[in-house]
Amino acid sequence: MILIYTIKITPRLQYIADLLLRELLEIDFEFTTSTDRFYQYQGPKLNYSKDRLGAELFISAHTILYENEIKPQRPEFGEHKGITTLFESKKPADLSYDPFAAAFFLVSRYEEYLPFKEDNHGRFRFEKGVAYYKAFHQIPVVNHYALHLKELIAFKYPQIVFSSREYQFILTYDIDQAFKYTDLPWYRKYGGLIKAFFRRDYKFIQDRKKVLSGQEKDPFDSFEEQNQLSAKFRIYPIYFFLMANYGSKDKNNSWNSRRMKLTIKNIADKYLIGIHPSYSSFKKPNKIENEIARLNSISGKQIIRSRQHFIRLEFPYTYRNLIEQGIQEDYSMGNPNIIGFRASIASPFFFYDLKRDETTALRIFPFAAMDSTLHYHLKVTPESALEELKLITDEIKKVQGTFIFIAHNDLMSKKSIWKGWHNCFEEFINYAQE
C-alpha cells in the first residue's frame, strides 16, 4: 500500500488514482490530507500537492483535479521517455509532468464537454482533439503514464510488488445489415432494383438475381464463415445487432422477420451479444429502450452491452441514457474516421460523468480500429491495412493493453467490395492473437 498526501481529496482525483494505480498497476493506495500522518508513515508514500515536503516521491499537482467546473484548459505539452505528456510541471518534481491530471483530461474526454463544431453526424471532429493535433492518437499514452508511475515507485520502493497484466484481443462484429438481397420487404427489393436500373448498375441487378434465384449465397450472409474463423483461432467475438425501424441511416433487415430472429438466436446461443442503438435513436431514450427490448425478447438474454451506430456519442448524455436502460458495458469509445485511441487508453475504464463530477458504473471498452475506417475513410489496400493494424497491435502489446477491433459481416464476403480482404483479415487476427 502506498500513502498519498494531497491538499484535498476530490472525486476527480479519486477516480483517476483508482484507474492508474488500482486498475492499471494493481497496487493499493490511501489518501491523506494530514501532513503529520504523512511524515510519520514509514511505508511507501507519494506527495501529490504543490510543494515538496521532504525526501518523498513528489509529483507537482495541476489544479484540474481540484476543480469542479468545466473550462478551457492549457495542458502544457512535454515528453517523457519518448511519450507525449500533458500538464508539464512548473516546479522541480520526480516526474516532469502530472500523470494524474494528464490521464484524467484524456480519459474523461474533457475536451468533448467544451463547445466544438460537430461533423455531419453530430460527432466530435477527431482532428480537433489534442491527441491528433500532437500526433499521439495512435499511442495509448495513458497506459504509458501508468508505467511511468510504476517505474518511479518501483525505483524508490523496490519492496512493492506489481502484478503482471496480460495483453488481450477482442473481436467484435456490428451487424448493420445481415443480408444484402434476401430477407427484405417487397418495397426494398423492388425499390433497389429500380434505383439500380436508373443508375445502370447492371452488375447489382445480376448479382441480386443470382442470389434470389438460389444460384449464389447472399454476400452479407457470412455467419458460417465467422463461426469457422472463431473456431480456427479460438476466439469468442461479441456481436452488436441493429434493431431499428428502417430509415435512411438504419438499413437493417427487419428485426421481426423469422430469418433475422433465427440468426440472432443462433449467435446469442454461442457468443456474447449487445445492442447497436440506431442512428435515429440518438438523443431519444425511448427508442433505445424499445430496441433493447426487441433484442432481449428475441435472444432471451439480458442486454447489458452496447455500441452506438455511426459511433454517435454526446457527452455525457449518450452514456447517461444507456445507464438508465441498464447497459453496463459500452464499446463505442473510438474514432470512426481514423485508427487509434479516442481516449488515449487501450484498457477498459469506468465512465466519469464530468458534468456531475462522479464516477459511474458504466464500463467503457475502447476500440482501436474498424474495418470500414480502413476501407471507406482511409481508402487503403488490404495489404496496407494489415500493416497499419500490425503497428497498432504492437503499440497495444507494449503496454499489455486490450485491442478491440470492429468488423462487419460483409467483410467476410468474397463477392462484395471487400474482395481481397479476407486473407489479410485472417492474418491480422493471427498476429493480434499471438
> Percentage of residues in the chain with pLDDT exceeding 70?
95
Q: Is the pLDDT of residue 236 over 60?
A: yes
Residue 267 zone, left/alpha/beta (φ > 0; ψ -120 to 50; rest)? alpha
What is residue 21's predicted lDDT score, i.e. its pLDDT?
98
Give the CA dihedral 381, 307, 243, 323, nearest 10 degrees. -170
pLDDT for the residue numbered 216? 84
When pLDDT is cut at 50, 70 and 90, the band that residue 418 belongs to is confident
> What is the structure's pLDDT at 200?
73
Helix 223-233 to helix 258-268 angle (10° resolution) is 10
Position 181 confidence tier, pLDDT thresholds 50, 70, 90: confident
pLDDT at 257: 95
Q: How far apart are CA 89 and CA 51, in angstroms?
A: 11
Query: Given the C-alpha cell 474516421, which residue does it identify?
Result: 337
Angstrom distance (rounded) from CA 353 to CA 365: 16
Dump pLDDT digits (tens) for 343-375.
Answer: 999 999 999 999 999 999 999 999 999 999 999
Which pLDDT band holds residue 310 (cuts at 50, 70, 90)?
very high
State mean pLDDT over 248-263. 95
Distance from C-alpha of 427 to C-alpha of 434, rounded to nearest angstrom = 11
> CATH says 168-180+218-433 is which class?
alpha beta
- pLDDT digits over 126-145, tens only? 999 999 999 999 999 999 99
Q: What is the residue-averaged pLDDT of the chain? A: 94
**Confidence grade of residue 202 (pLDDT, cut at 50, 70, 90):** low
Q: List residues bridging with 47 in a β-sheet.
A: 5, 58
Please check the confidence at residue 419 and state whether its pLDDT lies above 90.
no
User: What are the residue ranges of CATH 3.20.20.370 in the chain?
Assistant: 168-180+218-433
Whether 352 and 315 have beta carbons less than 8 Å apart is answered as no
* pLDDT of 199: 75
Q: How far is CA 15 from CA 23, 148, 164, 166, 341, in A?
A: 11, 18, 22, 23, 20
How much of the chain exceeds pLDDT 90, in percent?
Answer: 85
Between 181 and 379, residue with greater pLDDT: 379
Please name every residue paired with 240 in a beta bridge, in sequence order, or none if there are none: 174, 274
With 80 as the cut, is the pLDDT of residue 305 above it? yes
pLDDT value at 186 more than 60: no
pLDDT of residue 191: 61
Residue type, 143: N
Q: Which residue has the cell 476530490?
A: 10
**Burial of 96 by CB count in 10 Å (0-12 exposed, 13-18 middle, 19+ buried)?**
middle
